[in-house]
């Protein structure tokens, strides 16, 4: 788990015997929410006799969690994100799924979770369901999960992880205790990035809005990002696939916000702003549109055409 989230885990450990049946870990993308939720699951399933030393990392419960094979832990996530289950000697490997992996959590996955939660614990402790990213549930899946949250079986624990909790059903949010995971302070984030060997850590941390994990990803893809940002300056970006389109849409939104801040005379947030003669309101409206387009960029009919339309819609500087 990342060091800036240790105080949150300590708070959960102090309340271990009085935790509610559902926690919602929420915050910006790239601050380590999933790793924190995974460590919280290990905390709940650790079998060390001293609660102050949980998770110990050496008991059977901890080892099974770390090996992704604990019988009292289930991960519910889209097929596109799911990790391959560990191979068991003597058992046939599961058949590979047909077609493209889904980016949504489907209702059948949540219904299978209900069967798991209503069976007694294998280790005499809690049964834990980790749902990530919770906002990617289909409407049917969300309603199925809501039923479990409203009438949780004894000993059941739900850990939801979300970048965009506003997209969750209000009834789901109201049945969870929120655990905010904020952007860490700049100094520890920079230190961590430097320990990971990230080049230009300060620049990419700024482009990531202070989120260290995202900054590390940007640093590792620096060459392609540099080409993208250079193309934006010329308003000419070649897009061939969905991944490039998503990166372009994100960059356009950040550029728009920085240009709006620069037009207001404020300090740009992402390091993309410059002295601007543009209309601040027009840039803000464009930023809002790019926020909507980021969701559409996952399913474009024609990535190249979609990119051209967005670039053509960029506000122009005033003469």
Q: State which residues form the domain around 301.
A: 222-319
| pLDDT for 89 | 47
Token pair 């905010």: residue: 180
| pLDDT for 88 | 43
Rg (CA), the chain: 22
CA distance 268 to 287: 14
CA distance 84 to 229: 35
Same domain, 168 and 301: no
Same domain, 169 and 194: no
Give the strand pairing for 22-26 and 156-162.
Answer: parallel
Q: What is the pTM of this model?
A: 0.87
CA distance 35 to 22: 17
Same domain, 98 and 190: no
3-class DSSP state of 125? coil
Same domain, 172 and 211: no
| pLDDT for 8 | 97
The DSSP bridge partners found for residue 160 are 24, 131
**Within 10 A of 10 (CB to CB), how many other CB atoms are there?**
9
Task: Walk along the chain (319 residues) in steps of 10 and give the mean pLDDT of each run.
Answer: 94 93 96 97 94 92 93 92 56 54 90 85 86 96 94 92 95 97 96 95 96 96 91 85 90 93 88 75 93 81 88 79
Same domain, 216 and 227: no
Same domain, 94 and 171: yes
Same domain, 142 and 66: yes
Chosen domain end from 180, 201, 232: 180
Give the strand pairing for 73-76 and 127-131.
Answer: parallel
| pLDDT for 91 | 47
**Structural domains counted in the chain:** 3
Contact 72, 45 (CB under 8 A): yes
Phi (first) and psi of residue 151, to 5 degrees: -130, 70
> 46: closest CA among 125, 136, 155, 151?
125
Chosen domain end from 172, 203, 220: 220
Give the C-alpha distances (Å, rounded to integers) separating 44 from 32, 225, 265, 314. Answer: 18, 40, 49, 49
Contacts of 317 (CB under 8 A, 6+ apart): 276, 277, 278
Residue 94 sits in a domain whose CATH number is 3.40.50.300
DSSP per residue, 255-269: HHHHHHHHHTTPPPS
Same domain, 176 and 40: yes
Give the strand pairing for 127-131 and 156-162.
Answer: parallel
Contacts of 304 (CB under 8 A, 6+ apart): 239, 240
Same domain, 200 and 308: no
Same domain, 247 and 168: no
Chosen domain end from 195, 220, 245: 220
Same domain, 209 and 254: no
Same domain, 193 and 124: no
| pLDDT for 236 | 84
Please, what's the b/e burial string for 70-92 (b: 16 or more CB within 10 A of its CB; e: otherwise)? bebbbbbbbeeeeeeeeeeeeee
């Amino acid at each position: 788990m990342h060091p800036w989230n240790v105080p949150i885990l300590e708070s959960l450990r102090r309340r271990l015997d009085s935790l509610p049946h559902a926690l919602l870990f929420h915050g910006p993308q790239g601050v380590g929410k999933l790793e924190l939720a995974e460590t919280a699951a290990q905390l709940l399933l650790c079998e060390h006799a001293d609660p102050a030393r949980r998770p110990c990392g050496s008991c059977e419960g901890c080892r099974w969690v770390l090996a992704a094979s604990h019988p009292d832990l289930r991960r519910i996530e889209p097929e596109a994100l799911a990790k391959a289950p560990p191979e068991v000697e003597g058992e046939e490997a599961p058949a590979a799924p047909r077609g493209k992996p889904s980016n949504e959590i489907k209702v059948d996955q949540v219904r299978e979770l209900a069967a798991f939660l209503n069976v007694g614990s294998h280790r005499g402790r809690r049964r834990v369901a980790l749902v990530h990213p919770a906002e990617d549930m289909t409407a049917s899946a969300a309603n199925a999960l809501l039923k479990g949250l409203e009438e949780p079986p004894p000993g059941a624990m739900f850990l939801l992880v979300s970048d965009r909790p506003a997209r969750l059903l209000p009834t789901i949010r109201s049945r969870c205790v929120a655990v905010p995971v904020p952007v860490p302070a700049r100094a520890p984030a920079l230190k961590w990035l430097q320990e990971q060997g990230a080049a230009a850590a300060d620049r990419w941390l700024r482009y990531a809005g202070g989120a260290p994990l995202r900054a590390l990803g940007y640093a590792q893809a620096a060459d392609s990002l540099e080409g993208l940002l250079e193309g934006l300056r010329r308003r000419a970006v070649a897009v061939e696939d969905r991944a490039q389109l998503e990166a372009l849409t994100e960059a356009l939104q950040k550029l728009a916000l920085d240009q709006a801040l620069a037009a207001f005379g404020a300090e740009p947030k992402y390091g993309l702003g410059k002295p601007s003669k543009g209309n601040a309101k027009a840039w803000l409206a464009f930023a809002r549109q790019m926020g909507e387009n980021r969701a559409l960029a996952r399913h474009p009919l024609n990535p190249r055409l979609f990119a051209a339309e967005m670039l053509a819609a960029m506000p122009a500087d005033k003469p």
